[in-house]
């Protein structure tokens, strides 16, 4: 689906078996996210969170880029000054909600990144469980270069992923980071040749979508909780998650496969 210049673009949501594929489709604007696109992505992920048939999510951009961030040009070109408090009132339910959904949804999320991943687009890639990038991709947090402070989770995600010193390089100096450096820093899962990107992402998605979906979601939740907890608190949370995951059919299958010395066949239940 191609978009004419000036179009609001679209988020294409397609079911591919147990995988939900979301494509940011606005290549003429490097897939910058318009308000309708953000709303559509939030709606798709909210629906996916309660869809028992899904077992993994794939997020990508159409064309040569992943996402060049929020469409601030369109947001600030209406000619009318927004009402005081507009950002505080609106953003938690739009772009911030989108980042939070990508980070907290129990389904594993894989991002494929080509070209630019900028601002909100960069933070969506960082919030995913696994981001695989073409080795010529670039990650950029340009907030201070534009004269405003960072948002969309960048000040929370970056220090946890790469440490404070490297986070300052990206957020205070506005340094661009290559995919190779991003992988070396631990900012993303891997950087591969552009020709290998699709295959690498598909192998990862297939592995995740055939895993014990409930246990994967519980593990994600426990890691998030552990970012703010003491060791005893984290281990208590692990026990509650273990109690739930041990009641799944996949747990029984895992035990049976272990006893029978075969590869388990998980069904996500």
The predicted-structure confidence for 213-226, as pLDDT tens digits, reads as follows: 999 999 999 999 99
Supply the DSSP symbol for 63. Answer: T
Q: Is the pLDDT of residue 84 over 70?
A: no
| Alpha-carbon dihedral sign for residues 218, 219, 223, 228 | positive
**Residue position matching structure tokens 């109690």:** 243
User: Quick one: what percent of the chain has pLDDT higher than 70?
Assistant: 91
- What does the pLDDT read at residue 77? 53
Domains present along the chain, CATH in parentheses: 10-209 (3.90.226.10), 213-260 (1.10.12)
The pTM for the full model equals 0.90
Burial tier of 91 (Cβ tally within 10 Å: 0-12, 13-18, 19+): middle
**Residue position matching structure tokens 């552009």:** 194
Q: What average pLDDT does the structure give for the chain?
A: 91
- What does the pLDDT read at residue 5? 42
Question: Which tokens is 212 given?
Answer: 């014990």
Q: Is the pLDDT of residue 6 over 60?
A: no
φ and ψ at 203, to 5 degrees? -65, -40
Which of these ranges, 4-13, 33-42, 147-156, 234-243, has the smallest mean pLDDT?
A: 4-13
Burial tier of 5 (Cβ tally within 10 Å: 0-12, 13-18, 19+): exposed
Rounded mean pLDDT of 43-70? 96
């Amino acid at each position: 689906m191609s978009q004419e210049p000036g179009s609001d673009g679209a988020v294409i949501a397609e079911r591919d078996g147990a995988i939900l594929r979301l494509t940011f489709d606005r290549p003429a604007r490097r897939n910058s996210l318009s308000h309708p696109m953000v709303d559509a992505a939030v709606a798709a992920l909210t629906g996916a969170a309660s869809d028992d048939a899904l077992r993994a999510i794939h997020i990508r951009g159409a064309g040569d880029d992943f996402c060049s961030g929020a469409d601030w040009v369109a947001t600030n070109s209406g000619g009318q000054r927004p009402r005081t408090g507009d950002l505080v009132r609106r953003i938690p339910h739009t772009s911030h909600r989108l980042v939070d959904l990508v980070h907290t949804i129990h389904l594993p999320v894989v991002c494929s990144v080509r070209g630019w991943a900028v601002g909100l687009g960069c933070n969506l890639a960082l919030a995913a469980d696994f981001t695989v990038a073409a080795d010529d991709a670039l990650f950029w947090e340009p907030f201070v270069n534009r004269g405003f402070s960072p948002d969309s989770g960048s000040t929370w995600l970056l220090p946890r992923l790469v440490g404070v010193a490297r986070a300052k390089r990206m957020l205070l100096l506005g340094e661009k980071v290559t995919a190779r450096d991003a992988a070396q820093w631990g900012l993303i899962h891997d950087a591969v040749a552009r020709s290998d990107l699709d295959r690498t992402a598909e192998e990862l998605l297939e592995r995740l979508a055939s895993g014990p979906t409930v246990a994967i979601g519980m593990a994600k939740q426990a890691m998030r909780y552990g970012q703010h907890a003491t060791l005893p608190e984290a281990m208590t949370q692990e026990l509650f998650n273990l109690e739930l995951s041990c009641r799944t059919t996949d747990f029984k299958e895992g035990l049976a496969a272990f006893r029978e010395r075969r590869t388990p066949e998980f069904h996500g239940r």
